[in-house]
Structure 1
Amino acid sequence: MSHCLAAVVLEMLTSGAQGQFPIVQNMTVTEGGIANLTCRVEHNDNTSLQWSNPAQQTLFFGDKKALRDNRIELVRATSQELTISISEVTLADEGLYTCSLFTMPVKTAKAFLTVLGVPKKPEINGLTKPAIEGDHITLTCVTSGSKPAADVRWFRNEKEIKGAKEVNASGKTFTVKSSLRLQVDRQDDGVAYTCRVDHVALTATHEETTQVLEVHYAPIVNILHSATLPQEGQYLKLECVPQGNPSPDPVLWTKDGGELPDLDHMIVEGRELTFTSLNKTDNGTYRCEATNHLGTSHAEYKLVIYDAPTTPSPSTTSPAPTLPDTTGPLDSKHLNSAVTGNR
């Protein structure tokens, strides 16, 4: 009988001891956020619970606050639970937090608080002035304050391109740089280069900064014409279309290497040369010349005026005889008339 009683008592003591262990969980929180630390005990005989920080400073002993820090508050304190909150979490708050259950001996459980560093909005350096066609330039994107290190990507007009990445540690956080080395041409003028930062701590999908590249280049010139085969007396418009940056304006029109003749039917307005009524004296080579600070370019149009079509004179030829209707039978009179008329 005594053996049975001893076994029952031993079982009860073992079960109670197993239920007396504190239970905690690791936590991850973003810098500036709120961390809730919870310690639970399944079975407690009114033994006190305590939370301590990584420096082993007591934060709360039961419902009694022990550390003067306005960021730390009590959420819930019972015989089976002690939950506290830390607001405006900083990177310095990261580490092992200890929950102690004051039994004999004291039982403890440790929870690791991980604090994520939020990367700052990226900055793009290297575009202090307009680039000149043919220049080699380096665009550098920088973001700091991330933990773990942020992922930095480049996009050219929304199409991803590869940059050279560099990661440097600074205390608990990282500074990430990514560089693009380019030889620019006129096709890069107006192109948007975007640096995009991805990180687990970002509440939005990503942070990004965009810079639009300005490239200066010498002009190229084309001439558009309103008539394929210009004819005497016809209207004709020639339009000079220069492409350059800075935009070449105004343009210069010349004829056969000299100035344009001063004629009433020849009008220059901006980049357009208009002939209100062509005549043969307008034949020649017309040149449009465009200039900016990087160079001069020109295009030429050779004007050859064709004779206007003449109006045909009225015809004196007798009309062809009308053949009889052959859908029905022909008599001999109609047949002879048809043959005679075709001789």
Structure 2
Amino acid sequence: MLYGNMRRMLYLMVLLIAAVEIYADLNTKTNSTQQAIEGANTTLVCTFTPEDGIDITWSYIDESDVGLHNGKLLISRNEVLYKRYDLVDQASLLISNVRQSDAGTYKCSIYSSADYQLYSSSVTLNVLWIEKPHIELPSNTISEGEVATLVCSTSADPTATYKWLREGYAIQSNHPRYVQSSTTGVLTVYHAGYEDFTSFSCIASNSAGSKTSEEVILNVHYIPRFSIRKQGNSIRCIPYGNPAIDQVDYYINGTKQPDLEQVTIDGQFCNTVTCSAENDAGKGNRTELYCPTVKTAPEKPKDLGNQTLVGVLTSILIFLSLSVVMVIVYLALRPGPDFEQKEGRYDDLFDGPSPV
């Protein structure tokens, strides 16, 4: 009797140990939280042992839908139910082209055919994303000298930071007239002028990446300005301003000229030419003084023929002078014909026989 009780107790202990071992082996493991970038692929890792006789189920826990107690099934007993999901590695869930709506809690469930038990582990997926930013322009018209405020904003997780571009180039942080905030996305333009009547854009960035807004034009009203083209005696004023300019008036020496696209000045005298135009921002003009160019007569080239002749004659005179000098020197040093007779006269001055 005692032996039978001990045998039964030993048998129960063996079953309990086996059950504990099965439960420990099938205790699924997942990361508690995981991050993924919108548009990319991500894998939610789930592992277990042993590998035989196992059914794997993945579900998405939608806390807003109380009717789905076990969540929305994505993979049921090793069978993939939706195209964007797949079962990889041992029991991991691959999510392709991650969306913002994929954020939430996922449950990996392992069913053991050995003990007919279901073991689960959950992982929370955080999706990082950022949308294309847009720019809000001032609602009122900006005139020269006023302050303009532009706002760049976007939706993003985590919160985005901002930087501004002018004509496609980054605005420096120490710009004297442009003050920008990287956190609020506000760009303030002080003393707006005609050079600010141009394109602006902004870049929003976070750990999900960076996106650039469309370019916008800051509508700054400014009085007309002119560039002048002169060809010969014809002068043409080319206006630019905002709003647009309908007509340019010309004045020569203070006298208004007929409505023409260009004027012609008298090239023999100095003339002042004034271009004048007006738009809703005001009136602008530009005056230039044009005087005839004094042409200096070209220097007459020297007569090279006379120079050559003078040089030749000078060379001849020098040659003749040297020749005369050489002849005189030669004659002075040459012995005369009575040299021997004169030489004999000196014999009497010496005692003794004359030298042989």
TM-score for the superposition, normalised by structure 2: 0.59
Measure the CA separation in 2 of the matches of 1:125 and 1:139.
Answer: 6
Structure-2 residue corresponding to 1:188: 196
Counterpart CA distance in 2 for 1:213 and 1:160 is 15
Displacement after TM superposition at 1:142 (Å): 1.9
Deviation at 1:198, TM superposition (A): 2.4
- Residues in 2 aligned to 1:128 and 1:74: alpha-carbon distance in whole angstroms: 47
Name 2:262's counterpart in structure 1.
271
CA shift for structure 1 position 21:
2.7
Note if 1:290 corresponds to 2:295: no
SS state of the match for residue 217, structure 1? strand
Change (3 A) 1:113 1:238: closer
Pairwise CA distance, 1:92: 6.5
What is the DSSP-based 3-state SS (H/G/I as helix, E as strand, rest coil) of the residue aligned with 2:50? coil
Q: Deviations over 1:135-178 (max 9, x none)?
A: 2211111212x222223221223123552355xxxxxxxxxx51
How much does 1:334 deviate?
A: 10
Q: Which runs of 5+ in 2 are unaligned?
A: 1-13, 64-68, 174-179, 300-305, 325-356
1:6 aligned residue: none
Residues 1-343 of structure 1: matches in 2 within 5 Å?
18-25=24-31, 27-31=34-38, 37=44, 39-44=46-51, 46=53, 49-54=56-61, 55=63, 57=70, 59=73, 63=77, 71=82, 75-76=86-87, 81-82=90-91, 89-91=99-101, 93-95=103-105, 97-100=107-110, 107-116=119-128, 118-126=129-137, 131-144=142-155, 146-157=156-167, 158-161=169-172, 163-164=180-181, 178-183=185-190, 184-190=192-198, 192-201=199-208, 206-221=211-226, 236-240=233-237, 242-246=239-243, 248=245, 250-259=247-256, 270-275=261-266, 278-279=267-268, 283=269, 285-293=271-279, 294-301=282-289, 303=291, 322-323=310-311, 324-326=313-315, 330-332=319-321
- 8 Å contact 1:22–1:39 — kept in the other structure? yes
More helix by share: 2
Residue deviations 1:29-83 (CA, integer Å, cap 9, x gap):
4457776545332315636555454456153796188xxx975888459xx9545
Return 22-31 or 293-302, whichever deviates more. Answer: 22-31
Distance 2:107 2:225 in 1: 70
In structure 2, relative to structure 1, the CA distance for the partners of 1:83 and 1:269 (3 Å cut) is same
Find the aligned partners of 1:188 and 1:194 in 2 and give their Cα distance.
13
Q: Count how many residue pairs are aligned between Structure 1 and Structure 2.
A: 283
Displacement of 1:299 after TM fit?
0.5
**Structure 1 counterpart SS, 2:130:** coil
Q: SS of 1:209's equivalent?
A: coil
Letter in 1 for 2:283: G
Partners of 1:37 and 1:99 in 2: CA distance: 13
Q: Which secondary structure state, in structure 1, belongs to the residue aligned with residue 202 of structure 2? A: strand
Is contact 1:255-1:285 (8 Å) kept? Answer: yes
Structure 1: distance between partners of 2:322 and 2:78: 137
Unaligned runs of 5+ in 1: 1-8, 167-176, 227-234, 263-267, 313-318, 336-343
- Report percent identity of matched pairs: 17
Cα distance, 1:322 vs. partner?
A: 2.7
Task: Answer whether contact 1:189 1:214 (CA < 8 A) is retained.
Answer: yes
C-alpha RMSD of matched pairs (Å): 4.8
| Higher Rg of the two aligned structures | 2
1:12-40 deviation per Cα after TM superposition (whole angstroms, max 9, x unaligned): 96876653332334543445777654533
TM-score (norm 1): 0.60
Amino acid at match of 2:30: V
Structure-2 separation of matches of 1:198 and 1:122:
10
Superposed displacement of residue 193, structure 1: 1.1
- Counterpart CA distance in 2 for 1:23 and 1:62 is 18
